[in-house]
Chains A and B, each alone.
Chain A
Amino acid sequence: MTALGRLLPLGRGRLAPRSRGIGSGWVPYLFLAPSLVLVAIFVVYPIASVVYYSFTDFDIITPAQWVGLDNYQRLFGDPTFWKALTNSVIYLVATPILIVLSISLAIVVNRQLRGIHIFRALYYVPAVSGSIAIGISWRWLFDRNGFINSLLVSAGILDKPISWLTEPDAILPIAIMLTVWAGVGYYAVIFLAGLQNVPEELYDAAEIDGANAFQKHWHVSLPALRPQILFVAVISSLAALKVFDEIYVLTNRTGGVLDSGVTVVFYLWKQAFVLSNAGYASAIAIALLVLTLTFSVVYVRVLERRWEGTA
């Protein structure tokens, strides 16, 4: 038995007599109460409200009218919703790109080089910059008179500038690139923390076994980073499914021509706050909740099983 293991039962034994008394069973709940009240107000009530409004015709300014399952029926027959869902799923491609780039960046900066702290701070800058400010910068970059076009035209790659942000096939890839660029520094910090916990002896052993630099990271770093990879995979995937800011700014609130950049959350926002269909938007929110919950559970299970199999 470890020292900690021995201490725990003793601790419980010592505390137990003191916790007995009249009404003492309420004490934990008393301490929890402030948090529970806040959770009830800011989490439970909004969720319950959204569930209720999803069964109503509600335009925010007049009382909601009960319509049963109409909003959900509409959801299944709404081509824009399915397009938004497809776009959100396509957006998941950002996750593996983010993981690969973040791990690569973490490996690069996990060295004691002169000025490395400045470099680490620099790559983290996008993570602490406002998403709207980043979006506007990228809009300027991809504007018809922007930097990208100037570069491509002056290099002779393009004959004439392209309105990238009004090209239906371009808007989603640009938004994904933006997400990756803005997120890579943040996730790299998580991987960097993981890398710094890998015992140096493991790399030494791998080197003695003849591993080159790539093989050392493949066989030592990556297995050691499994918890971080799982964590990043889940949170970045959920973030991808909920993407809004990038699309909102890049398309100037329109979602792009032909709804080419519309994602589920953007569509939810548009239905609620542009078209005043808050009841329908609530149904979309519930669909998104079901999607993200299912996705999270399945994702975690699959990754855990795969790793258990390879362990």
Chain B
Amino acid sequence: MLVVLALVAAACGAQGASPSASASNALPSSSASTNPEAVISDVEAGAHLTFWTFYLSPTFDDYIQSTIDRFEATYPGVTVDWEDHQATFLDDYRNAINSGTQPDVANLSNNAGWVREFAEAGKLLNMSENLPQEVIDTYYPNLFMDSVVDGSSFQVPWYQAIPVEIVNTQILKDADLTVDDFPTSFDGLPDFCQKIKDATGKLCDIRLSVTDYLAQMTYEGGVDVMNEDGSAFTFDSAEAVDWLQTYVDMVKNDLVDRSALTTEDDRVGLDLFNSGEAPFYQTGPQLIRETKDKNPDLYEQLAIAPFPIGRSGVIQPTSQGIAVKADTEFPRAAMALAAFFTSAKSQLEFSKIVAVYPSTPAAYEDAFFTETPELIEDSARPLAQGLIEKEQNILPTIPNAADVNDVVRKAVEKALFDGADPQQVLSDAVAQANKLL
């Protein structure tokens, strides 16, 4: 019992008392730099920054460290203390805020909702107000404004993972299908899965966005989850019911692997695919390296298909962002580090190491993005720029997002696994979610 109490209490320590500081406050100036990579002026002399990344070590240690070294050379006198946090990143970051040790600069996921969570709590620096316009202009506008809170951006966009379908061509061949038959829209998936199951007995490896059902409804189902003024939820509309019914039918007809469908862990579906038991799986091409490592035979039979577009007709951005602590002692230096890692040059170098895609149009001017790639994991590279330009965040800001998502999760699971009527469960969920507004 004491352990349980201690666990909760450990996360409930004293609150940092310092108020948010505005970066527009007068800042000490530093020596002006002539280095073209020094895009932020008046960086605080002697600034010491803490920088957290998410799941990048040890694979990308060399890249991160060499970029930091270049940054420190660009802004002499500024030093960076880098830490990589992995599965516990979110807990670590929340606890760091609570204990007053929030890192100055951190790699926060946009589509996992982290940027919004901490921006709404006033813990992140407003980039729209503080970052020079010429730096803002280097990013795709749709990505810079990926996680908007009160009309402002609180992050700069970093690398993108273009979602693709990795396909086991052997299973498709057994089902008398080819990768060209892969459905181009979400609506084509059930029939495709039915054909595969009938011919091979294999189930589709599809994963619901357990931590963000409303995003999945929005993009995949074309559902308006809130009314225009944000005063009420509307995810019990005909579109929403239709979206849920699609999944209910797939579960009822035993077309999807249930263990992958409702897991929070992306690796469950990926491992299932890597075992050779699944016909396809939607993931980022950078994770194909895992198939190569774990199942080289399967890697030889891999193909890539564009992922099926949802009923919204829009692609959800899947960007990692870099955010700055709201009350950092060194706002100019912190913004400089964020801008440095997300510059066209730094991102191009990163893309050459792993199949991730830059958030800056200038990076795509390099021949690297137009050459025909040799490896399957790189085959999305020539398509990347076109896809990123189509990405758009159409999900409204959801108040109490985690609690609302939990309400929706219960409704979806009741419909999928308990035989409840989709319309009824969604209407009940809307009523419950409206109480959280």
Contacts and interface: CB of A to CB of B under 8 A. Distances in A.
Pairs A-B, 4 closest by C-beta atoms? A46-B9, A166-B258, A163-B258, A49-B9
Contacts of B7: 269, 272
A91 interface: no
A268 B4 contact: yes
A257 B265 contact: no
Contact of B259 (A45, A165, A258, A277): A165
B262 interface: yes
Interface in A99-152: 143-145
B417 A168 contact: yes
B6 A276 contact: no
A269 to B, nearest CB: 8
A144 B271 CA distance: 12
Interface of B: 1-13, 15, 91, 94-95, 97-98, 117-118, 121-123, 201, 203, 210, 257-259, 261-265, 268, 272, 275, 277, 402-403, 406, 410, 413-414, 416-418
A289 to B, nearest CB: 5
A300 interface: no
A180 B417 CA distance: 28
B272 A289 contact: no
Contacts, number: 122
A198 B186 CA distance: 70
A59 B12 contact: no
Nearest to A45: B9
B5 A50 contact: yes
Nearest to A60: B94
Interface in A200-258: 238, 242, 252-254, 257-258
B259 A163 contact: yes
B257 A144 contact: yes
A15 interface: no
B390 to A, nearest CB: 32
B4 A273 contact: no
A60 B402 contact: no
B6 A46 contact: yes
Nearest to A53: B12
B268 A252 contact: yes
Contacts of B118: 61
21 contacts: A46-B2, A46-B9, A50-B12, A60-B95, A64-B12, A144-B257, A166-B417, A242-B1, A242-B4, A253-B264, A253-B265, A254-B262, A254-B263, A257-B262, A268-B8, A272-B8, A273-B94, A282-B8, A285-B5, A288-B1, A289-B1
B324 to A, nearest CB: 16
A248 to B, nearest CB: 11
Given A46-B10, A166-B417, A285 B263 contact: no
B1 A252 contact: no
B414 A265 contact: no
Nearest to B201: A160
A60 B12 contact: yes
A274 interface: yes
A87 interface: no
Contact of A145 (B8, B11, B277): B277
B273 to A, nearest CB: 12
Nearest to A140: B271
A43 interface: yes
A265 B4 contact: yes
Interface class of chain B by DSSP: helix
Contact of A42 (B6, B201, B259, B265): B6
A58 B12 contact: yes
Interface class of chain A by DSSP: helix
B262 A166 contact: yes
A196 B171 CA distance: 60
A70 interface: no
Contacts of A258: 410, 413-414, 417-418
Nearest to B15: A63
Contacts of B97: 60-61
Contacts of A60: 11-12, 94-95, 97-98
Nearest to A282: B8
Contact of B5 (A46, A63, A253, A275): A46
B1 A292 contact: yes
A184 interface: no
Interface of A: 42-43, 45-47, 49-50, 53, 58-64, 143-145, 160, 163, 165-166, 168, 238, 242, 252-254, 257-259, 265, 268-269, 272-278, 281-282, 285, 288-289, 292-293
Nearest to B3: A242
- Which of A53, A143, A160, A238 counts the most chain B CB atoms within 10 A? A143
A211 to B, nearest CB: 42
A9 to B, nearest CB: 38
A47 B264 CA distance: 31
B9 A254 contact: no
Given A62-B15, A143-B259, 18 more contacts: A46-B9, A47-B9, A49-B12, A60-B12, A61-B97, A61-B123, A145-B272, A163-B258, A165-B259, A242-B3, A253-B264, A254-B263, A254-B264, A257-B416, A268-B8, A274-B402, A276-B94, A293-B1
A46 to B, nearest CB: 3
A49 B98 CA distance: 14
A72 B166 CA distance: 48
A293 B418 CA distance: 36
Given A143-B259, A145-B277, A275-B403, A252 B264 contact: yes
Nearest to B412: A257
A61 B4 contact: no
B413 A163 contact: no
A38 B181 CA distance: 66
A163 B98 contact: no
Contacts of B258: 144, 163, 166, 257
A198 B251 CA distance: 58
A275 B402 contact: yes
Contacts of A281: 8
Contacts of A289: 1, 5
B415 to A, nearest CB: 11
A128 B277 CA distance: 33
Nearest to B88: A273
A305 B64 CA distance: 66
Nearest to A163: B258
A277 B8 contact: no
A293 B97 CA distance: 33
A63 B123 CA distance: 12
